[in-house]
Structure formats: C-alpha cells, structure tokens
Amino acid sequence: MAKNNDQDQFKKVLSHAKEYGYVFQSSEIYDGLSAVYDYGQNGVELKKNIREYWWQAMTQLNQDIVGIDTAIFMHPTVWKASGHVDAFNDPLIDNKDSKKRYRADVLVEDYCEKHLQKANKEIAKAAKRFGEDFDAKMYAETNPRVMGYMKKATEPTARLAQLLEAEDLEGVKALIEELEIADPDTGSKNWTDVRQFNLMFGTKIGASADTATDLFLRPETAQGIFVNFLNVQKSGRMKIPFGIAQTGKAFRNEIVARQFIFRQREFEQMEMQYFVKPGTELKWFEIWKEKRMAWHRSLGMGDENYRFHDHEKMAHYANAATDIEFDFPFGFKELEGIHSRTDFDLKAHEEHSGKKLQFFDHEDNKSYVPYVLETSIGLDRMFLAVFSNSLVDEKLDGGGERTVLKLPAVLAPVKAAILPLLKKDGLPEIANEIVDELKWSMNVAYEEKDSIGKRYARHDLNGTPYCVTIDHDTKEDHAVTVRDRDTMTQERVAIKDLKSYLESRVSMSEWLRKI
C-alpha cells in the first residue's frame, strides 16, 4: 500500500475529491472564493457520517453528556468576555519579495517539524544498518547529528512560546531571521515586521444604519455552550461532572489558507465541554485524552498516524492542553485540541453578565464555578484526515495496479452497490428488490451500466465498501456475490441474510462498540 507524504499525494487528494463529488471550490464558476469550500453529493454523506459518529459517541454512549444547538450570532459582549476581542490574534508576517503572507508561528513550527523529520530519517537509516539490536532511544541521545537535528526541532518552539507569551513580536521576527527561515515558495528571506491580526469576522444586525448593532460571526462553538451552562444544568437536572456537546459552523479570517479544507474561513466544529469539580480537572484531562484517542483509533486508520502534542504555550484560558495530531499528506498537524480551560469562561461570563453561573454541590453543601475540560475537533479537518488516509494506490497480486478509496465502512457515503450482472434475464428486477429491502437501513446505489469489472473499479474509487452482484445462479440459489472493496475477496451470501451481513459490517452501532 502506498501512502506518500508528499505534494503529489496531496494533489491527488484534491483532484479525487473533486472528480468523485466530495469537495468543490466554493463559487467555482466565478473562479472560487479563497479558503471556502462546498461539499458534493458524496462529501455531504461522508461529512454527515463523521458528525454522527462523533455525536453518538458523545451523547449516546455517555449518560452524562447531552447535546445542544446554539445560534451563530451571539450577543457581542460574549466575545469581550471570552477574550476573543482582545486576544484572538495570529502573528502575521509578509514576505516583501513574494508579497506572500504567512503566520509567523507556523513558519517556526514548520522549521522544527522539518528538523524532526530529518532526525527520524537518520534514526530509521541507522535502524536498518544495525538490525535487531538497535536501541533507537540511545542512538537519539548520543549520535551528534541526530542530537543536532533534535535541538533544532525543539528549541525554537520553546523560544517562540516565550516570545508570544511576552507579546514580543520583534523577538519573533528576530527568531525567524536567526533561524534563516525563507519563504517556502520562493526562498526569499526579506521579511516585514510581525503584526497581530484579529481573526473574527464582523457583521451587523438590524434594519437601519443608526440602530444596527455590530456583531461577530462566532469563531468557535464553545461559547454557545458556556452561556447555556445554567439552562442545560437546570432543565436537564444535570449533576457535576457532566458534559454538553455541540456541532456547528465557526468562522475565522485565517491569514494563510492554502491547505484545502484543512484551514478554511468557514468550517464546522464538534466541541464538547465537560464541567467538573475544581481540583479534579487534570484527572479528567487525562481521561478525555484517552477517550478521544480511542474514538480515533476505532476507525482503523492506523495508530501510527496519530500522536499527542502537548502545548508549551497555553491559550489564555488553559492550565493543560494537548493536540491530537494526524499524519496528513503534508505531515503531522493538529486535528483535535483537548484543553483544560479552568473556570476562565464561566467566571468571565459571570463578570460580564452579572449572572451567577455556579453549581450547588449537595455533598459539600456549597456552590462553585465548575472547571471545564474541552475536546474540540474540526469536522472538515477530520474529513481531510479520513479522505487523504483512505486514498491509496495498490499493486495487485496478479500484476497491475488500482487506486482505491478505503474509507472506514461506517463513514462511507454509499455502503453497497447493487449490480445486476446483465441488463436482462430478470436480473435487474431481483437487484431492484434488493435495493428496496436495503434502502430502509443504509445508503445503496443501483448500477447496471458497463462491465462488472468497470463497475467494481468505479466503486473502489468512490469508496463503496461492498459490491453485490446478482447473476444467473441467483435465480436458482437465491444468493448473491458480495465483493469486499479492500480485500477484493468474494463471498456467496443468501439474499435473506444480506441485510444482516452488511449491517454487521457497516452500521454505526457495530463500529461504536470498537471504541
């Protein structure tokens, strides 16, 4: 199986997503809108399935988590209280020659990642050379070349964190110059000063210019949860610890938006805030780290493709934070954030609204502002992780090659293609009966055009996990041939067992059990 961590693979992902109706550039006939995307007929299904897999894992598998759906528009003071008006900034830097704009922190992070990859390459080379007795840890700690790379992979991130903490933007520029970081596109090192840039989109609500109020499009869904904390706690009679989950659109005026759906200006988040007793938050932080990683692993996309990355620089509200990073075609990058947000948000909303946002603990006989654990994942980023990881080129045993989209079956837009071998002899009629039976529990596609081999190939590219073929024997044995997309093995299955055969392999409830 070939999964290339390179530009070519990424280009392939982009064109495959378009060709097979997964993702289109927004307003494409007008030359598109930068960093805004539309989901096509297959994309919308994949996206919905990811959302549903997350939603059920949160709200159905946990008795103490409920969901809500809050508005995108919120009272403007929400964003003052949350700190977004004053501190939701990214440091930007322009290259004077190429006129390209970058995030200064990302330039430094990419520099570190490059050196980490160099170190890993050296270690892998040595492992090959020394064979079985090779001690990778010892090698990394003693080999001068690896040590040099590791230093360049870690030191700059720590310095960057300090500089950003101290809001020392001149220092950030000096660091970029000292590391001799060049524009990744042109190689130019002719940089402007670093400036802060607020990422929130402003808009107005109201009919006339004099009475209109300035609003922001929400840059995260979390604040809708915080401001409803008491509503949900009281109406749901929730006891601490409990969680509130939400999925929905968020908007950020991203400085750099060149990575397809990885970084968009309009995107969707899936967030869960878990309210706990103060002092227990770090225990819950560890629990949620593990729970979220288990969710990811249940999809079978390769444990080696995930890693935790603990934060050096915490957001203004956090006392512990980690990212779950995924190995995208452009390297390991943040897929999900897990943050211990303390009582920052609820306290800030108490101060700004003048309303108490507290929980009365009957055991201790006192009220307190709960602490919060947050898990926050981008739905579109998860889509990209799933899609890019699934698109593989394979050499076949008997010679030849194929490209196949090995989406986890639970997420695939179409679960089974129902294919009469020929367009005659009563085979389409049987196939249609099967469609009519299956359509109540899963998405299926009926197809009779082209040879069976071509239809298999098309569904491999489309990500359909099972192809069901109705042939002449079907009339005698009342069975069909089921072909597995990934192994390409074929199995004869009685029509009466087909529904349960497929359900046991594609249904959400079966997959959720793997978490």
Binding site for ligand ATP (CB under 6 A): 220, 252, 254, 263-264, 267, 269, 334-337, 376-378, 380-381
> Of the two residues 84 and 455, which places its CB atom closer to ligand ATP in the complex?
84
CA-closest candidate to residue 308, choices 336, 282, 331: 336
For ligand ATP, give the closer residue by CB, 220 or 327. Answer: 220
DSSP string computed for 165-223:
HTT-HHHHHHHHHHTT---TTT----B---EEEE-PPEEEESSSTTT-EEEEB-S-SHH
Give alpha helix (H) positions in 405-451: 427-438
Does the annotation flag 490 for ligand binding?
no
Shortest Å, Cβ 253 to ligand ATP:
9
298 annotated to a ligand binding site: no
CB of 380 to ligand ATP, least distance (A): 5
Of 337 and 408, which CB lies nearer to ligand ATP in the complex structure?
337
Side-chain half-sphere exposure of 336, counting CA atoms within 13 A? 26
User: Closest approach of Cβ 471 to ligand ATP, in Å?
Assistant: 46
Residue with Cβ nearer ligand ATP (323 or 471): 323
DSSP-derived pairing of the beta strands 65-67 and 242-251: parallel
**Is 252 annotated as contributing to ligand binding?**
yes
Q: Is 300 annotated among the ligand-binding residues?
A: no
Give me the residue label for tokens 């055969």: 501
Q: Is 422 annotated as a binding-site member?
A: no
CB of 50 or CB of 335, closer to ligand ATP: 335
Q: Which helix (H) or strand (E) holds 25?
A: strand 23-25
Q: Minimum CB separation from ligand ATP for residue 189, in Å?
A: 24
Residue 103 marked ligand-binding = yes
Structure tokens at 388: 């890019």
Nearer to ligand ATP, 321 or 444 (CB): 321
Residue 336 assigned as binding residue: no
Q: Is residue 229 helix, strand or coil? A: helix
Residue 43: CB minimum distance to ligand ATP, A: 15
Instruction: Give CA 118 to chain center in angstroms.
Output: 26
Least separation in angstroms between residue 262's CB and ligand ATP is: 6
Please give the Cα distance from 61 to 515 (Å, whole number): 10
Nearest approach in angstroms of CB 261 to ligand ATP is: 7
Q: Which is nearer to ligand ATP, 227 or 431 (CB)?
A: 227
Q: Which residue is nearest to ligand ATP (CB)?
A: 378
266 assigned ligand-binding residue: yes
The DSSP secondary-structure symbol of 60 reads: I
Q: Which two tokens stand for residue 42?
A: 């297959």
d(CA 359, CA 235): 13
The response to whether 263 counts as a known ligand-binding position is yes
**Residue 49 CB partners (closer than 8 Å, separation 6+):** 410, 411, 412, 413, 508
How many whole angstroms separate alpha carbon 411 and alpha carbon 404? 15
Distance of CA 305 to the CA centre of its chain: 13
Instruction: List binding-site positions for substrate.
Output: 103, 220, 267-271, 374-378
Instruction: List binding-site positions for ATP.
Output: 252-254, 262-267, 334-335, 378-381
Instruction: List binding-site positions.
Output: 103, 220, 252-254, 262-271, 334-335, 374-381
